[in-house]
A and B are shown apart, each in its own frame.
Chain A
Amino acid sequence: DSGVTQTPKHLITATGQRVTLRCSPRSGDLSVYWYQQSLDQGLQFLIQYYNGEERAKGNILERFSAQQFPDLHSELNLSSLELGDSALYFCASSVGQGMNTGELFFGEGSRLTVL
């Protein structure tokens, strides 16, 4: 158990819909990261927050948004869903950021299926 909790574990929805994925980081970790893992594209970095502020953005679509709340949990919102958004979405956390990031601790992922 990494200490990072993600919900839901599985989600099936239809094209055009909107979903919210939730992540609770390890106790004491201030950084939260979101990654998308699909068969053909590996592990793609989406976005990072540190203590409530956005710190880095990767290949995150405009239809996707995220935030980190004062209690440090984070939510990833995916809207106007398309078939190609079907993937495993991982959340990770770390104590620090930047070159002081150290090890990332990953949740078990949320598997999204868009039909």
Chain B
Amino acid sequence: AQSVSQHNHHVILSEAASLELGCNYSYGGTVNLFWYVQYPGQHLQLLLKYFSGDPLVKGIKGFEAEFIKSKFSFNLRKPSVQWSDTAEYFCAVISGGFKTIFGAGTRLFVKA
């Protein structure tokens, strides 16, 4: 069955530190990949997405992600985090079926 794994459930960083959140998926065919963010008390919203083309995609608020097909990975990165990046981050995948499958989420806390 299709699955999405996020390696870190909780991450604590200081402001200005670099961020990398891991995401791996299990499906071997064509995939569409997403990162969503859920700020405290808010609904999930899209950070960035990959459908095809350049495997390095840039999203909002300085986030980027790299699709590495050989590793079935779509890691999220940000060079310098801010306190306002404190949120929960979800990786998501659509493969051949109709379902968008989400990872378990990573809770990021940025210390001011």
Contacts and interface: CB of A to CB of B under 8 A. Distances in A.
Interface in B40-56: 42-46, 49
B49 to A, nearest CB: 7
Interface residues of B, number: 23
Contact of A104 (B96, B97, B100): B100
Contacts of A98: 94, 97-98
Q: Chain A contact residues (Cβ within 8 angstroms of B): what range? A: 20 to 34
A43 B43 contact: no
Contacts of B32: 99, 101-102
B34 A35 contact: no
B98 A43 contact: no
B103 A42 contact: yes
Given A106-B43, A106-B44, A108-B43, A99 B100 contact: no
Interface of A: 2, 4, 33, 35, 41-43, 45, 48, 50, 55-56, 58, 90, 92, 97-99, 101-104, 106-109
Given A102-B32, A108-B42, 18 more contacts: A35-B102, A42-B90, A42-B102, A42-B104, A42-B105, A45-B99, A45-B100, A56-B97, A56-B99, A58-B99, A90-B43, A99-B96, A101-B32, A102-B49, A103-B34, A104-B34, A104-B100, A106-B36
